[in-house]
Structure 1
Amino acid sequence: YLNKIPLVPDGIYIEEILTKWRGDYDKLEHNHTYIQWLFPLREQGLNFYAHELTQDEIKEFQSTREAKRRFLAAYALMLDFYGIKLLDKSGNVARASNWQERFQHLNESQHNYLRITRILKSLGELGYEAFKAPLVRLFLEESLYHNTLPNMQHSILEYFVYTIRLPATRRRLLRYARQHYRPAHAFLWGPPPKRRGAGGGGAGTVGAGSSGIRAPAPTPEQQRRGEESGGIIMTSHDALKCPELLGGGLKGCAGLGSNVVVLDGTLRMVGGREERNEYNGIGSL
């Protein structure tokens, strides 16, 4: 981000990407190595030349105006690629003038959803946590209310929302999603469980990804009972036992094999191995 070393393996500098790649949608779509450099994380990505971010680098980045300026320019570059414009320094976003063409592409080019997850995580790592919610909210509006990005629904509810660290912000977005999801009784959300092998305590289970297996949707009758009790219908793991929910205000269990439980006034996601502790909080809606 100081424009002193080239990106590997492409051999170009970040300033060239920011000035010459903007609007070159074919290049941004088909090149798969720049995204790890532009949006670093503290985890290894597909480009093994791009090293994991360190805490020392994060501190240095946050104290370097030039690096932060280029990072926001890179964020605006990718937003433009997706048909979105950055409105201000608070992270508010809106449709760009070419949104129809770009949304159509984004709806069909689902590998970009992995990129968006990375971008959201990187925003948080580098001090722009507040920028996440406006972008996730826009995606919720477009996918659930305007139906311009219907293929994105699972990724938003299973991944994008859970990059947000503040529980209150996540709950606010989930309330909006629940309000506009159709059909309402089929509303499912939550980070998908990890695949568990023989050493993970039982037979392997397939996580609920966009192409995975989700729990059966609650029936309208189950939905009605949940609403009358003030509870929230949610998904969990097959192995989840009712006693584990006692601390969360258990209202009822719709069968251990159904993956559907109702909690009285609270919502809770339990990770298969508690690998998402940062995102697994319990909070009243």
Structure 2
Amino acid sequence: MGNLVGSWRYKEPSTVEECDSTWGSDSESDDQAAEEDSGASEAVSPAEGVRCAAEPGDMSPQLTGSPEFLPKMKRSFYAARDLYKYRHCYPNYKESRQSNEYRNLRFYLNKIPLIPDGIYVEEILTEWRGDYDKLEHNHNYIQWLFPLREQGLNFYAQELTQDEIKEFQSTREAKRRFLAAYCLMLDFYGVKLLDKSGNVARAPNWQQRFQHLNVSQHNYLRITRILKSLGELGYEAFKAPLVHLLLEESLCQSTLPNMKHSALEYYVYTIRLPSARRRLLRYAQQHYRPAHAFLWGPPAKQRGAGGTSSSGSSSSSSSSSSCGGAGSSGIRAPAPTPEQQRKMEETVVGGVTGIAIFSRGNSVTCLDHGGAGGLSGLEFVGSGDVERGQRNDYSEMVPL
């Protein structure tokens, strides 16, 4: 029996559908028992009040031509498999038998520099902010600032281990610097962190930085890494607000049109809670143009007459199709009438039967991750540090 257990290996999924459990259920309570919610970071808290300042998709990019003449798109299996492994904590991963040097933690404690540049984290946090040329063209620091349990392009950077993750999450100084590093990169992208819940908004420099980000697409890989690292080191709740903002900017405001497929293929699927992914995807489906080309909705078998509970009750009224203002209440709109539901089920969008636009009022912008379990195990830098005189020069970057 021991040999049988010892020889068992996890079988990796072979299709996009096998990688994606987003639409397996529409019950928020099911998320607590979901296998993919058992990431290294156990603390997942609600991310409330995600801000969105657009009117109904007036500025969404439009594609012309009849649907039958448009090129057929499909989801990336590479992306789906990569994010599946991440959400399931790398099921076939074997940690090195070498002694754990905790190199990532020691770097964040300012005890060792990043290799090969020989730069300490304190120097990056205090001197690199606003030096956008350096942040753009240096490719060695990102693996050190945002470590993962997978190898990046800098082979001098050490992969995280489970033991190091636990030690990192219990080390206040490392977590404070990690949040400062997150704010450093947000500023580079034209975004600012608003509060301890992870809510974000445009920064004062957003126009210049969004214009740069729209063409500097190697940063899209960096953002994926940042989102993954947030989840590994205890800040899972910070992901959804950032992803929501990037979806809004790419789909509603058209300020980052080149990012929309990276956001849908990668960013959304770094989020471990299926219910949170569903909310983001409903929001994206509501504003994606052309509507018939949206590939990330529920499978066809769940869009039929008997599958409305999986895809969500939808309402296509213009009042609920806006991106939601900063004062959006997050209250769900009334359920559609039977006549509205019948019309939606019979809708043919662009010649494709059964595709509906899911809105549920403003619920897609609420992002109240039900059943997430609060902030247990997640420690933030509070006012007590200021009183004890522990504020660093870069602490203004982090809302305390």
TM-score, normalized by length of structure 1? 0.68
Question: 2:264 maps to which residue?
Answer: 157
- 1:174 and 1:53 map into 2 onto residues whose CA distance is 30
Selected match of 1:93 from 175, 185, 200? 200
By relative contact order (CA 8 Å, sep 6+), the higher-ranking structure is 2
Rounded to whole Å, the distance in 1 between the matches of 2:305 and 2:184 is: 43
Q: CA deviation at 1:189?
A: 2.7
Q: Structure 2 matches for 1:1-285, cutoff 5 A?
A: 1-189=108-296, 230=308
**1:92-141 CA-partner distances (Å, limit 9, x unpaired):** 00000010000000000000000000000000000000000000000010
State, as a whole percentage, how many aligned pairs show the same letter: 84
Distance 1:86 1:173 in 2: 19
> What code does the residue aligned with 2:272 have?
R
Change beyond 3 A, Cα 1:263–1:176? closer
SS at match of 1:94: strand
CA distance, structure 2, for counterparts of residue 227 and residue 4 of structure 1: 60
Distance 2:166 2:160 in 1: 11
Distance 1:82 1:91 in 2: 16
1: distance between equivalents of 2:203 and 2:282?
26
Matched-pair contact (CA < 8 Å) for 2:151–2:158:
yes
TM-aligned CA distance change 1:183 to 1:52, over 3 Å:
same
| Cα offset, 1:156, TM superposition | 0.5
Name the structure with the higher strand share: 1
Against the structure 1 CA distance between its residues 121 and 261, is the aligned structure 2 distance closer, same or farther, given a 3 Å change threshold? farther
- Spell out, residue by residue over 1:52-105, the C-alpha distance to the aligned partner (whole angstroms, 9 max, x if none): 001111111111100000000000000000000001111000000010000000
- Alignment RMSD (CA, Å): 2.5
**Can you give the 5+ residue segments of structure 2 that lack an aligned partner in the other structure?**
1-107, 312-351, 357-400
CA distance 1:263–1:78, change in 2 (3 Å): same
Aligned pair in 2 of structure 1 residues 142, 6: CA closer, same or farther (>3 Å)?
A: same
Task: Provide the C-alpha distance between the structure 2 equivalents of 1:13 and 1:229, rounded to a whole number of angstroms.
Answer: 54
| CA distance in 2: counterparts of 1:228 and 1:185, whole angstroms | 21
Instruction: Report the secondary structure of 2:192's partner residue.
Output: strand
Q: Which 4+ residue blocks in structure 1 deviate beyond 3 angstroms?
A: 225-232, 260-264
Question: Is the CA contact (8 Å cut-off) linking 2:292 and 2:355 kept in structure 1?
Answer: no
**C-alpha displacement of 1:227:** 8.7
State the secondary structure of the residue aligned to 2:201.
strand
Shift of 1:185: 1.0
**CA–CA distance in structure 2, aligned partners of residues 60 and 106 of structure 1:** 34
- Kept in 1, the 8 Å contact 2:113–2:121? The answer is yes
**Structure exhibiting the larger radius of gyration computed from Cα positions:** 2
Q: How many residues align?
A: 205
- Mind listing any 5+ residue stretches in structure 1 that lack a counterpart? 191-221, 233-259, 265-285
Q: Which amino acid aligns with 1:105?
A: H
| TM-score, structure 2 normalization | 0.49
Q: Any conservation in 1 of the 2:198–2:238 contact (CA below 8 Å)?
A: yes
Q: What is the rounded CA distance, in whole Å, between the counterparts of 1:229 and 1:118 in structure 2? A: 35
Cα distance, 1:32–1:261 mapped onto 2, change above 3 Å = farther
- Structure 2 counterpart SS, 1:70: helix
Query: Which residue of structure 2 aligns with residue 268 of structure 1?
Result: none
Report Cα offsets for 1:133-158 as digits up to 9, x if no partner: 00000001000010100000110110
**Worse overlay, 176-185 or 72-81:** 176-185
